[in-house]
Structure 1
Amino acid sequence: MKTLNLLIRFALVGFMALSLQSCGLLGAAGLSKQGLSAKKAPANLTAARKTSSEMLDHSSWTTLLQRHVNEAGFVDYKGFQKDKKDLDAYCNYLSSYQPDETWSVQEQLAYYINLYNAYTIKLILENYPTASIKDLDGPWTKAFVPVGNKNLSLGGIENSLLRKMNEPRIHFAINCASFSCPKLLNEAFTADDIDAQLELVTRDFINSERNEIKKNQAKVSQLFNWYAKDYLANGTESVKEFINRYSDVQIAPETTLEFLEYDWSLNEQ
């Protein structure tokens, strides 16, 4: 019995450690979607109806991103602080909405991705300077993001909403303010362009220095380890198959994926 209890305790500790590594997104607040709608994206996102009861204007977010995020995706947080009122206004604008079933899947994806990214920047600015988002208290588990009359955590937005939408490319669109994260796109995601934007960020990340891909050796981001099952959507049989769909260098079938250490240092210019 003692041996069994010890094994259970070790398993729980291991599970908790993995949860913390993967952006801490399995905390209690991160498990709840607060009753919000998250439609499943079809295999061909462009084939889904774009008609929506709401058509949000994300142009102010694009203005801020183009002003303070460079082409490499790094953020000028000091400069961003000067425009914090504009960022707060955009965050409040997003929070005044509450996605429901009358929204198109494209509108929902754009909304949740921009919500995650904007509130992550807001969190960093409210705690700046900081060396890493992981130095903050509960950055992914505290429910500090208002959505209509709900309050979500960043973990809730990713785990309970975006990850439930059957769209693995979201992992390359959201940015957790860290060096090893996919770069922060310096334009807002929009319902009209969401499929092309998701294709762009996915291809860009897989072929970036965040991965070291050769035919017979593939060292890839921990994102492909932490969220492995997400990449098996729509009939994809393996993580390797998903990567090869976008990679300039094709990984050989017999090659085993290795996972690089994740750098949590701030993604600051």
Structure 2
Amino acid sequence: MKKVLLTIVFFTSLSIVSQNKIIYSDVAQDLLQNIMDKKLYDKEVKILAESTLEDLTSELKTDSQKLAFWINVYNAFIQISLSENPKEYEDRGAFFKKPRVKIAGELLSFDDMEHDIMRKSRVKISWGYLRKYFRPKWERKLRIDGDLEWRIHFALNCGAKSCPPVAIYSSENLSNELDFMTTEYLNEQTSFNEETKTAKSVSLFSWFRADFGGLCGARQILFDYKITPEKPKKLDFKTYDWTLSLGNYRTIPK
């Protein structure tokens, strides 16, 4: 009888622990959803602030899990930070470099999240050709493991008018979601001259050209995604509009 009672207590305890387990991917989605719905989000911010490196690394094991989580976190805190203090955008370099988001036991900047974690320790100003080495433990543990995912550039919203819209991403359907947003954004940002075979598209292709396989790779992407009727012979870039524009949200079809 005693063994039976101990067994019941043991499995009851496991059930309680399981029920109380925090799913940080869900928290990131809830945070962004509450911002989009103009609801309170203090609870989610607090949960993320109290997370540890072990918490996140034990949950975010695949690159899809990592990218979906960090895209949602990045976009959410851009909206929060610039809503609270839009004047920070007057010095954008300082804005993106400033450590401000408490998560995984660290105080991270937007540059940390984008270039160190999601872009796998790329040097920000190098067109994506240079990597940083001898990085801190948190970065090595949190960053993606595989090849760089170029479609994140069409998912991250930095608060400017020319930025891609904000949407909520999931690890389970990340590739389809990124494909949808990439297609929508590039269709909006790209024009094609049939006579000169020249495409004019977003400056992101130039700033992060190595991520896209160089300018030749960017031209191939425009053709592969049916943005242009053929692979352009030349690629020009639109002037990026840095006017502050918050609340640019989009729903991804199921």
Is the 2:199–2:228 Cα contact (8 Å) retained in structure 1?
no
What is the aligned-residue identity percentage? Answer: 25
CA distance in 2: counterparts of 1:211 and 1:60, whole angstroms: 32
Distance 2:91 2:184 in 1: 28
2:208 pairs with one of 227, 243, 266: 227
Contact 1:91-1:118 at 8 Å conserved across structures: no
What is the TM-score when the length of structure 1 is the normalising length? Answer: 0.63
Offset of residue 119 of structure 1: 1.0
- Structure 1 unaligned spans of 5+: 1-52, 68-79
Q: What CA deviation, in whole Å up to 9, does each residue of 1:161-201 have, x standing for no partner?
A: 1112411011111100111111112xx21211211111111
Residue 228 of structure 2 corresponds to residue 242 of structure 1 = no
Q: Where do 5+ consecutive residues of structure 2 fail to align? A: 1-21, 121-143, 248-254
Q: Give the 3 Å change call, closer, same or farther, for CA 221–237 of structure 1 in structure 2.
A: closer
TM-superposed CA distance for 1:250, in Å, is 2.7
Matches within 5 A, 1:1-269: 56-57=25-26, 58-61=28-31, 63-64=33-34, 66-67=36-37, 80=38, 83=39, 86-97=40-51, 98=53, 99-100=56-57, 103-128=61-86, 130=87, 133-135=89-91, 138-164=94-120, 165=144, 166-185=148-167, 188-208=168-188, 210-215=189-194, 216-232=197-213, 238-253=217-232, 255-268=233-246
Q: Whose Rg is larger?
A: 2
Deviation at 1:54, TM superposition (A): 5.5
Q: CA RMSD in A?
A: 2.7
Secondary structure of the 2:95 match is coil
Letter of the 2:150 partner, please give it: P
Q: How many residues align?
A: 193
Contact (CA 8 Å) 2:97, 2:111: kept in 1 or not?
yes
Task: Give me the whole-angstrom Cα distance separating, in 1, the residues matched to 2:150 and 2:118.
Answer: 9
Q: Could you tell me whether the CA contact under 8 Å between 2:193 and 2:199 is conserved in 1?
A: yes
Contact 2:29–2:72 (CA under 8 A) maintained in structure 1: no
Give, in whole Å, the separation in 2 of the partners of 1:133 and 1:267. Answer: 11
Matched residues in 1 for 2:151 and 2:92: separation? 27
Partners in 2 of 1:221 and 1:244 — Cα distance? 15
Partner SS, residue 223 of structure 2: helix
C-alpha deviation, 1:87, in angstroms: 2.8
Q: Secondary structure at the match of 1:258?
A: strand
Choose between structure 1 and 2 for higher RCO, CA contacts under 8 A separated by at least 6 residues.
1
**Structure with greater helix percent:** 2
Q: Decide whether the 8 Å contact of 1:143 with 1:151 is kept in 2.
A: yes
Task: Provide the TM-score with structure 2 as the length reference.
Answer: 0.67
